[in-house]
Amino acid sequence: MDKLMGQLKRQIIERLNLKDLKPEDIGDDQPLFVEGLGLDSIDALELIVLLQQDYHIKLDKAEDGPKVFHSVRTMADYITKHSPAKKAS
Protein backbone atom coordinates (compact mmCIF):
# COMPACT_ATOMS: atom_id res chain seq x y z
CA MET A 1 0.00 0.00 0.00
CA ASP A 2 2.73 2.50 0.96
CA LYS A 3 4.61 1.61 -2.18
CA LEU A 4 1.50 2.14 -4.30
CA MET A 5 0.80 5.49 -2.60
CA GLY A 6 4.36 6.65 -3.23
CA GLN A 7 4.08 5.65 -6.85
CA LEU A 8 0.73 7.42 -7.16
CA LYS A 9 2.15 10.65 -5.77
CA ARG A 10 4.91 10.63 -8.38
CA GLN A 11 2.41 9.86 -11.12
CA ILE A 12 0.01 12.60 -10.00
CA ILE A 13 2.77 15.22 -9.98
CA GLU A 14 4.01 14.13 -13.39
CA ARG A 15 0.60 13.80 -15.01
CA LEU A 16 -0.90 17.03 -13.61
CA ASN A 17 2.26 19.13 -14.03
CA LEU A 18 2.43 20.04 -10.34
CA LYS A 19 5.96 21.32 -10.82
CA ASP A 20 6.20 23.15 -7.51
CA LEU A 21 5.48 19.95 -5.56
CA LYS A 22 7.55 16.95 -4.47
CA PRO A 23 6.00 13.56 -3.64
CA GLU A 24 6.69 14.06 0.07
CA ASP A 25 4.66 17.30 0.00
CA ILE A 26 1.46 15.31 -0.59
CA GLY A 27 0.00 13.73 2.55
CA ASP A 28 -1.54 10.26 2.27
CA ASP A 29 -4.88 11.58 3.53
CA GLN A 30 -4.64 15.16 2.34
CA PRO A 31 -7.67 16.11 0.20
CA LEU A 32 -6.54 16.40 -3.42
CA PHE A 33 -9.25 18.79 -4.56
CA VAL A 34 -10.22 22.36 -3.75
CA GLU A 35 -9.01 23.07 -0.21
CA GLY A 36 -6.25 20.44 -0.33
CA LEU A 37 -3.97 20.39 -3.36
CA GLY A 38 -6.39 22.67 -5.22
CA LEU A 39 -6.96 20.32 -8.15
CA ASP A 40 -9.97 20.99 -10.40
CA SER A 41 -12.41 19.08 -12.60
CA ILE A 42 -10.00 18.76 -15.52
CA ASP A 43 -7.40 17.27 -13.17
CA ALA A 44 -10.05 14.76 -12.10
CA LEU A 45 -10.52 13.75 -15.72
CA GLU A 46 -6.76 13.38 -16.15
CA LEU A 47 -6.71 11.12 -13.10
CA ILE A 48 -9.42 9.00 -14.75
CA VAL A 49 -7.16 8.67 -17.81
CA LEU A 50 -4.25 7.82 -15.47
CA LEU A 51 -6.26 4.99 -13.90
CA GLN A 52 -7.14 3.73 -17.35
CA GLN A 53 -3.69 3.86 -18.87
CA ASP A 54 -1.50 2.85 -15.97
CA TYR A 55 -3.82 0.57 -13.98
CA HIS A 56 -6.33 -0.55 -16.64
CA ILE A 57 -9.22 0.50 -14.46
CA LYS A 58 -12.16 2.20 -16.14
CA LEU A 59 -14.18 4.73 -14.20
CA ASP A 60 -17.37 5.23 -16.17
CA LYS A 61 -19.07 7.91 -14.19
CA ALA A 62 -17.39 11.22 -13.51
CA GLU A 63 -19.62 11.49 -10.43
CA ASP A 64 -17.63 8.69 -8.77
CA GLY A 65 -14.55 10.86 -9.07
CA PRO A 66 -14.83 12.81 -5.81
CA LYS A 67 -15.01 9.60 -3.77
CA VAL A 68 -12.21 7.78 -5.56
CA PHE A 69 -9.92 10.79 -5.87
CA HIS A 70 -10.49 12.19 -2.39
CA SER A 71 -6.93 11.48 -1.34
CA VAL A 72 -3.96 9.39 -2.38
CA ARG A 73 -5.11 6.73 0.09
CA THR A 74 -8.65 6.46 -1.35
CA MET A 75 -7.13 6.19 -4.82
CA ALA A 76 -4.80 3.43 -3.72
CA ASP A 77 -7.71 1.63 -2.05
CA TYR A 78 -9.76 1.82 -5.20
CA ILE A 79 -6.89 0.57 -7.35
CA THR A 80 -6.23 -2.36 -5.00
CA LYS A 81 -9.89 -3.36 -5.07
CA HIS A 82 -10.45 -2.92 -8.81
CA SER A 83 -7.13 -3.94 -10.32
CA PRO A 84 -7.80 -6.41 -13.19
CA ALA A 85 -4.79 -8.49 -12.06
CA LYS A 86 -6.42 -8.96 -8.65
CA LYS A 87 -9.74 -9.98 -10.15
CA ALA A 88 -8.10 -12.57 -12.38
CA SER A 89 -6.31 -14.27 -9.50
Partner 1 sequence: MDFLDELYRHYQLGYPKFHKMDQLSKLGVLATDILLNESDHANKYGSDETGIVLSNSHGSLDVDLKYARTMEAGASPALFVYTLPNIVIGEIAIKYKFRGENAFFVFKTFNGNFMAAYVNGLFDSKLIRNCICGWVDYLGEDYRALLMLVETSGSEKAIPFTAEGINLLNNTSHG
Partner 2 sequence: MNPPVFVAGLGVVSAIGLDAAACLHSFETEEAGMADIKILHTRQRGKLPVAEVKLSNEALAELTGLSSGMPRTALLSALAAREALADAGIFNFKDLRAGFISANTVGGMDKTEDFFESFMMNAAAGKLRDVVYHECGSITEIVADHLGINHFISTVSTACSSSANAVFTGARMIRHGLLDLALVGGADALTRFTLNGFNTLMILDKSFCKPFDEHRQGLNLGEGAGYLVLVSEEIMNRLNKSAYCRIAGYSNANDAYHQTASSPGGTGSFLAMKNALENSGLVPGDIDYINLHGTGTNNNDIAEGTAIKLLFDPVYPKMSSTKSFTGHTLGASGGMEAVFSALAIRHGIIYPNLRFETPMKELPFTPVTKFLNHQRVKHVISNSFGFGGNCTSLVFSAS
State yes or no: residue 43 binds partner 1 (CB under 8 A): yes
**Residues at the interface with partner 2 (CB under 8 A):** 40-42, 45, 48-49, 61-62
Q: Which does 62 bind (CB under 5 to 8 A by kind): partner 2, partner 1, none?
A: partner 2
DSSP assignment of 58-80: ----GGGHHHHTSSHHHHHHHHH
CA angle 76, 73, 70 (to 5 degrees): 105
Distance (Å, rounded) from C-alpha 62 to C-alpha 59? 7
Nearer CB in complex with partner 2: 42/88: 42
Binding residues for partner 1, rule: CB under 8 A, are: 16-20, 38, 42-43, 45-46, 49, 52-53
